Chains A and B, each alone.
Chain A
């Protein structure tokens, strides 16, 4: 891998940019790998990357049925924050945020991490109390976050309508270190890092079956032939249930569409990220000037990557109430991703009933912000069979009633 640097740009400028190489190789699959990761989204690629970088396991393939980063990694609103209520979540999301802070340097790839500050509006007494509780919990966990007044909210977000026809803004939970990153660059950067360590990233390769012998994984069948593996990491978000079915077990997940959309580009109007969980809308402005907008999940199972008009309408209503300028904007694009929701709205990073198969799923509506931390924990779990960060997120928590209940803590989506 040739490193990107100012000197590389200068060198290429002098020779018609003919020397840039492809960021990652696209090889044919080998017969066998030590670890096969299914799913070349952010979480899958980060898992492979830290397997190589931290644990020295580089005989790894990352299998992807579509194109790299084409699932939820390329379909979210790129929000990054770590001020979660529960200890286990705060730990893994804080790890992720810390890794994001140094990710561009680590990967030698500009992921455009932008710690522009993130607000979660409190628009009811209940939310206000909830967020103040989060501030105290985060102080104990060593996660920086603060409660700010409605006047401070107006200073940070001049376009906001504080009085709102339905729910006035009472204040906000504010994390100054939160922000956004370029979602594609995160996937591409990790892919480049994996490829440089000799890992194979195989796109357009769908898993059609999982082979097990005596409750132990042997390999997978794909549209590009059979591949044997020592260990199998399933990191496929909304399609986790489909893969689990192939391996002969079920997961406590429901796959639902979550959508996002962007407006036409305009001059800078908002330089922070704002989430409003009660009326349910998210807003930030991309570097191109588009407002990046999102809302809640649909209320039924859905595998279509579209999302319903009903949710689109509800969220737009909330946006127009909260930020009246939005009513004048044309929308450019809308899309949906298939998110996997668990009973307690917390992820699953776990061993499974089949020996050698590991799952990293259930990130639901909040997966992008977790990518580096999730990959870190999953890699440790696959390599060593145990990870302190993943400890609370095992599959057995549903049977034992040890929930990490972020659905209560985060209002709805997170």
Chain B
């Protein structure tokens, strides 16, 4: 479906709330709201532009606080209709912001350390946030099938959201994903297709499918619905600030796969400042990658502003995107805010998963191991300031990546007190 360039701001259809246009991040050209993702002039990514609510910040703050206990409390800041909370959806968000004092002590953090634990979402990853917004856009555009290219978590989120909202789903994943993610993607009754190749091959396939009659009328949440989908990640920024008492964190550590989430967290923080909902003061954003798929970290360290694609080889499969679409913007944001992009190897990822589980009772998937591992590395090197308020994201559930962590019983014994005593595990 083609989109038209607009000369001036158009009135927003109510299906998109405060959103008024799609805007190219590269050249700034504006287009009508539609199922489009790349600028007609320069191929740059399109993002949603808003006319955000003006007025007293305290009134807006109270309105948000009185809203539903999920992302729809922020509906006035999202491209969704006003009655979105009443439509069948998975009600994601408002996940725990855990004050991680034990982890802080272990890492030598003297300021406040928090873990935003998004494994608490309905399909156990942050993807429920972004899919919820994409579903509303799909409804508005009249799509009846939802699709995506996925490293696993997204496939499950799309399958579940489609089931709940009454869409058909057909999702595409690399053929060699973790069993937990494959089952999660398949169980909701939609079609699941394994592609013989990497995620980047899957993504390329979906990009071609969208221009072909075979994919006619499909809403690919992270392709032709990507501008809307991405906005869901802003809710991570909103929640973190609200849960901190309407306060910006000083430092935030975000996993980087395509880089979309990091760019939208930055967008969300900037919006809160512009609306007067938080004090305008500096914050630093840090990107975290796995060494085996670290094209953005490599570009950051080399001082480049473009990202050279790589062939991924890491246990952190949910971050294994070798050709990250938003990589250049991650570099811009890390540099603009005084942050950094760093990577850790697979051994450190597993160590970090265990560390977070041991200190805070949070079992993260490999992506969470990446953020905690990178946090530790950046604290060791002094790049992260240990005296400030830092938020680390855990975007998924360890139950989906069980194979990454070889853990088992401390002992297996006969059901007798003598056997337990002999195992040396008794009190004292």
**A, B from the same assembly:** no
